[in-house]
Structures are given as C-alpha cells and as structure tokens.
Structure 1
Amino acid sequence: MTIVLDDTLLGDPVALASADTGGVLRAAATAGAQVRSAAQAAVEAGVADLAGHRPRALVFLRRPGSSGAAAEIVGALLGSLCPVPIVVADVVPGWIGPLDVVLAHSADPADVELAESVSRAVGRGAEVVLSAPAEGPVASAGAGRARFVEPRIPVPPALDLPRALAVALTVVSSLGLWPGGLDPSLDPLADALDAEAERNQPNHEPFMNPAKSLALRLAERTPLLWGADPAATAVAGHGATALATHAGVVAHAADIAQAATATALRRAVDLADRGEDIFRDPFDDPGPDSPPVRVVLLATAEEEPGQVAVRRTGRGWPADLQHPVDEVPRGTRDAVLLRTALLASRLEIAAVYLGLATRAIEPA
C-alpha cells in the first residue's frame, strides 16, 4: 500500500510541533550534543589510556540498535589500510584474549547476550570499552573491569547513533588507528552535526531544509539508497533502517556497483525516469501495486558522485544527489568523516519528517 504524505504538515511548524508529541524531532536534533557528551564521558572513563596499545584485533559487538551501523561506518572510514583487523560480531569471539580490544554499545541495559559477552571478554583479560546505561546486567558485567561510558543525553534507542559513533571514534583514535588522530573533544564533528540540525529545524521551509526536501522526494516512492563510496554505503544501510523505524518505508541500500547488477532494479529505475504515461486511465489500468523507485546517490569523498557512478557502473543514473561538499568543503580535515555523520543525521531527520507527515509516528 502506498503511504500518502500530508505535505502541508512539513510547511507548518505549529502543526509539526503538535504532531510530534513524543519529541522525536527534538531528539534527532541532539546529534551534536550526543557527540560532545559521549566524548567527554569517554575521557572520564579513561579511554585515552589505550594510547600505545596495538591490539591483535578490534572487536565491535553488534547488538540491536545503533551499534551495527556505528561499526560499519567506522570500518568503512578506516578502510583496508587499518593496521589491525576489525571484527564485527554479535557475541564476543571464542578466541578473545588479553591482546584484543572490545567495544560494546547498547541502549538496552538488560541485554543478556551482551552481558555474557562483556563478562567473558573482561574475564579473559581483553580491554573492554562499554557504552551502555549505568544500571542493569550489562553494566554489572563490566563493573570495575571495563572502561564504562555512560549515556548523558536521553534519546530513543533508534536515535543514539551519534553517541555510538563518538565512542567508537575515541577508541580508534586513542589506539592510534585514525590517521593524524582526532581531537578528543570531537568538536569539529559535533559542530558539523549542530549545523545540520540548524538547517533541518522545523521552522525552515522545505526548500531551505534538506531533510524536509528529502522527505518530500521520497514520499510515495520506493527509496534506493546507493553509496558511491564505502562510507556512503554504510550510511545508506543506516538510512534504510531509519526509514523503516520512523516512517514504515522499505528501502533498498547498497553500494552502487553492486546495485547496478540487479537487472530488474535497473529496469525499474529507467521506467521511473521515463515518468508516468499521461494518457493512462488509472481505473482501467491501475498499474503496479508498489510505488515507483527513486535513486538517492550518497557520497562522502571528494570526487563528483555522478562521475564515480559512471566509472563504476558504466552509465549515468537519474538520481537525487546527497554529496554535502557545500556544507563540508573539499580540503577540510577529516571531511569524509564529517560528511558521513552529516548524511546519517540528514537521513534520520528526513525519516522522522516522513513519519510525522504520514502519521507513521504515532502520538505519544
């Protein structure tokens, strides 16, 4: 069934505020504050003391919520040049030992499997950084033995990617895995996310608000979120999750070269690009049940994404481009990181706007 969007809601800040009784938009706008608070909490937890330690492996524990997206994004940002293996696992591997570093993030204080993994990891002498609520079995499993980073800004679990990402970045930077290192405060990242939240605030009209504009473009469409580079592809996966969580929209997320191998999907893209036949009678020929597709091409690197698409797939694509080089200019230090976080935030807020305007987000 096609989800119908009330586009008038997106142009009415008062109506938006009335619809957002749960404060989801306000929570989504805390990305920069989450990064700052998590970075400070990581400093107080002694994460910087990992400096000089070269682990046999860096293990990300992927649990329900944002931990998997954070692991995929950081892994994509570090890339194949990372000097140590990065392992993403649902539970701590059986080979874990004192030469390894384990990073666990969860918003669920009662995750029994995670508590067991943390207990096993600290019991075997691994360095463990635990980002989780302060009470419950998970916190107890690492008490006194893990470097504990407690959340300080309450947000729904589906909106805590900035916190998960900030803790992961402090770990990889402290371990010397980030080229040139990162400012322990992560202020440049927080500033970029604050600026994105400002652009996307409810008082801005859709033509001035990139998240509202994206929500309108995705309404009554099947989104194809395709990444032109590894970090953008990781963000695409997170965007698909955000659309499902907040708007009940099913989206396809993939690397563009991989997506281009799906022949039926290629035909759907070309059909959508040709547009609807103005002479078709919708009563005699209602057409397909599924909404037409819309390609959103995400990019975080310096090169123009259209050129990347042609080089990697052999053709151009009719796509909405999300390549925030105006917001994060070429040549900016850690530009790929800043654009990656910015796009993740934009997709989340667009999903929230879409969910509010389609009533997928129910009143609290």
Structure 2
Amino acid sequence: MLDDILLADPRALTALDTSGVLRGAATAGAQVRSAAQGAADARISDLAGSRPRALVLLRRPGTSGAAAGLLTAALGPTCPVPVVVADTVPGWVGPLDVVIAHTADADDADLADGVAFAVRRGAEVVLSAPADGPVASAGAGRVRLVEQRIPVPPGLDLPRALAVGLVVAGALELFTTPLHPALDPLADQLDAEAERNQPGHEPFMNPAKSLALRLAEHTPLLWGTDPLGTAVAAHAAAALATHAGVVAHADNVGRAATASGLVRSLDRAATGADVFHDPFDDPDGTTEAPPVRLVLLATGEDDPAQVTLRLAGRQWPSADVVHPVDEVARGVAHAGVLRAGLLASRFDVAAVYLGLATRTIEPGYRGARREES
C-alpha cells in the first residue's frame, strides 16, 4: 500500500533512501554534461563530414534499449542513413558503419564479443561504458570510449546513454537542425526538472510526486501520441517495473486503441466505481486487478487531444495528459528531444518515489541487476 504521508515528509524520504536512489535520479543533467564532455575527450567530433552506410544501435540489458528507441524516434524518417537497432552486432557490419553501444555492466561478455567483432570488421565503434572490465578491454585503443564518470544506481543512466547517441548523431550531421555540441539545452532542462522534483517540495509543486500519487494502486496505461512520446512510454514502463514493481502497458495510442479489453477497462473506469462496493467482500477468493489509469505522453507541437482523436478515432477525457509545453515552449529548437528527456527523467523520479512510498525500495537497494550464472 502507498504511504502518501511519506511523500510529504522529506526527512523520512531521505532516511528511507539509504542507497541514494533519489540522488542518483537527480543527476540527469550532470550525466548529460559529463557524457558530452566525455564524448569531446573521445574526439567524437572527428566523425564530422562522414556519412556512414548505417548507424547501428546496440540494445543490451539496462537503459540502452530505451536510449536507442529515443534516438531512433528523434532522428525520424528524415534521417539520411538507415538506423538499425540490434541486440548483437550484425554480421554484415563493416568499415562504412558506425556502431554505438552503451552499458553499465563492465562484464557483459556478449557485448565484449560484439565490440571485438565490430572492431575486427573495421567499423567505427563508440562505446559508452565503465573504463574497467572486459567490455572496455575488448575495444581498448580501437574504439571511442566515453567513460562512465557519474555512478548511479542501475536503471538511472538513461541520460548518459541518450547523450552519447545524440552527440554521435550530431557529429554525423544526421539532424536537419544542428544540435548544441555540449547538449547544454538538454542538461539545463534536466537540471530544472530535478529542482522541481526535489524531496522538499510538496506533491502539488512536485510533478514527479504528483505523478507517483496518480499512478499508485493503478495499472498505468502509458500511451504516446507521437514517436518520441511512445519511446518515453516504453522507458517509463521499464522504470516503474524496476523501481516500484509496477506492471504498466506502453504503446502508441493508435495501436493501443485496438486493444479492446484495455479500452473496455478505460470506459468502465470512466463511469466511476460502485459506491456500494465493499473492497473486502471477496466471496470467490479472487483479487481484482488494480484499476487502469491512462496517461498520454506527448512531446510534439500539436494538441495531444487532437492527435489522439486522429490516431485512435476517439478521445478519453479522463486521461492524464503529460505534455510539458510550459517547460519547453513551442517553437524551441529540438523541443521534442528536450521534452522527451524531461519526461523520461520525471518518470524515473516518480518511479523511485513510488518505490519508496510502497517500501518496494528497501534499505541497501541497488536496482535491477543481472542474474549471476
């Protein structure tokens, strides 16, 4: 059960967060700045002027898959080169390709093998990883290594992974509008979001706490109204599972609207609960699933309600709409990327708050970790 009083007590939150998970979630802006500086030290800018045959994004356990989804959505259909997302290095990779790999696991043997293979094939490899361990050693002296400089609990390193991908794509001139090479606008937005979400702020002033309260004791339906919003939804579902043990459904609103069972659950929820229903009256010995709560995630310029009507053929007036146009105004360069980064950070912090308030995060918590063989 959610301890909502805990969310209003910053001292209690700090005392419970013995592993510093909230502090780790608040480092998003610092991670972006550190990654951008690390990319500069790795001379990523030397890639300028080259046009790869393909950009290969490796998806490994952790946040690399979310980063790949966000970068692919940010580049969009206008990207001048194919973007390939793969779990392992494709066998066809060669000297004309650029491979980006991110991991927080320095001992990922499969990734180490993939890095070594890509190097042997002559591909340009950008590796975001800890400086020590088999993964870094596999490409020692032959890859552009962006070292992990700000350690965070597992599952909270998406800003670093995304930043490295954005710097590489920017150096390759894959965006129609150039990115700031140091990613300062993104880092500034993430710093501002961390300030809003600090434990000392009451829920009505803290968007992450407010989101956590809205999602508590519900089954979240996280539906994106645009490609970047959908990519954020996928990451948000993973964050809720990792930090709060919450199962969520994430998809594009157009596809999700074809899931008739979920739509019926939404319609039932919109009619309101039976005021005479006794939640402790369970004659069949069964437990009802938590009620659904729809959250629409939007990063584009258009009104999410109108986009939902166009894609799904209907609207859900009861839905929570998360569209941070107050934080990132319409017309700002790369507004979609800035909003996506902001929303991903907000859901990370909300998931941590929810995990703390439900005691899912216990003292000594270290997030998700790979099973040892």
Q: TM exceeds 0.5?
A: yes
Query: Aligned pair 1:99/2:93, yes or no?
Result: no
- Paired residue for 1:297? 296
- Paired residue for 2:362? 362
- Paired residue for 1:263? 260
- Once residues 347 and 253 of structure 1 are traced to their aligned partners in structure 2, the CA distance between those partners, rounded to angstroms, is 13
Query: Aligned pair 1:353/2:353, yes or no?
Result: yes
Query: Aligned pair 1:10/2:7, yes or no?
Result: yes
- Paired residue for 1:66? 63
- Size of the alignment, in residue pairs? 361
Aligned to 1:158, the other structure's residue is in SS state coil
- Once residues 284 and 167 of structure 1 are traced to their aligned partners in structure 2, the CA distance between those partners, rounded to angstroms, is 53
- Once residues 282 and 35 of structure 1 are traced to their aligned partners in structure 2, the CA distance between those partners, rounded to angstroms, is 46
- Paired residue for 2:78? 81
- Once residues 171 and 361 of structure 1 are traced to their aligned partners in structure 2, the CA distance between those partners, rounded to angstroms, is 35
User: Deviation string for 1:54-74 (max 9, x for gaps)?
Assistant: 000000111001111000000
Within 5 Å, give how 1:335-346 maps onto structure 2: 335-346=335-346
Tell me the TM-score normalised to structure 2 length.
0.95
- Once residues 152 and 190 of structure 1 are traced to their aligned partners in structure 2, the CA distance between those partners, rounded to angstroms, is 16
Instruction: Report deviation, 1:85.
Output: 0.4
User: Deviation string for 1:224-267 (max 9, x for gaps)?
Assistant: 00000000000000000000000000000000000000111100
- Paired residue for 1:218? 215
User: Deviation string for 1:28-65 (max 9, x for gaps)?
Assistant: 00000000000000001011100011000000111001
1:143 corresponds, among 135, 140, 145, to 140
Instruction: Report deviation, 1:281.
Output: 3.2
- Once residues 160 and 282 of structure 2 are traced to their aligned partners in structure 1, the CA distance between those partners, rounded to angstroms, is 49
- Paired residue for 1:44? 41
Unaligned runs of 5+ in 2: 365-373
Within 5 Å, give how 1:165-184 maps onto structure 2: 165-184=162-181
User: Deviation string for 1:63-91 (max 9, x for gaps)?
Assistant: 00111100000001111111100001111
- Paired residue for 1:321? 321
Aligned to 1:257, the other structure's residue is in SS state helix
- Paired residue for 1:274? 271
Within 5 Å, give how 1:16-27 maps onto structure 2: 16-27=13-24
- Once residues 221 and 235 of structure 1 are traced to their aligned partners in structure 2, the CA distance between those partners, rounded to angstroms, is 19
Instruction: Report deviation, 1:283.
Output: 4.1
- Once residues 281 and 123 of structure 2 are traced to their aligned partners in structure 1, the CA distance between those partners, rounded to angstroms, is 66
Tell me the TM-score normalised to structure 1 length.
0.98
Aligned to 1:42, the other structure's residue is in SS state helix
Instruction: Report deviation, 1:307.
Output: 1.1
Instruction: Report deviation, 1:330.
Output: 0.7
User: Deviation string for 1:98-124 (max 9, x for gaps)?
Assistant: 000000100111111101110011111
- Paired residue for 1:306? 305
- Once residues 12 and 120 of structure 1 are traced to their aligned partners in structure 2, the CA distance between those partners, rounded to angstroms, is 51
Unaligned runs of 5+ in 1: none
Query: Aligned pair 1:202/2:199, yes or no?
Result: yes
The Cα RMSD (Å) is: 1.0
- Once residues 180 and 283 of structure 1 are traced to their aligned partners in structure 2, the CA distance between those partners, rounded to angstroms, is 57
- Once residues 91 and 264 of structure 1 are traced to their aligned partners in structure 2, the CA distance between those partners, rounded to angstroms, is 35
1:30 corresponds, among 23, 27, 33, to 27
Quote the sequence identity (%): 69
- Once residues 313 and 189 of structure 1 are traced to their aligned partners in structure 2, the CA distance between those partners, rounded to angstroms, is 31
- Once residues 65 and 138 of structure 2 are traced to their aligned partners in structure 1, the CA distance between those partners, rounded to angstroms, is 21
- Once residues 278 and 106 of structure 2 are traced to their aligned partners in structure 1, the CA distance between those partners, rounded to angstroms, is 55
Instruction: Report deviation, 1:282.
Output: 3.2
- Paired residue for 1:117? 114
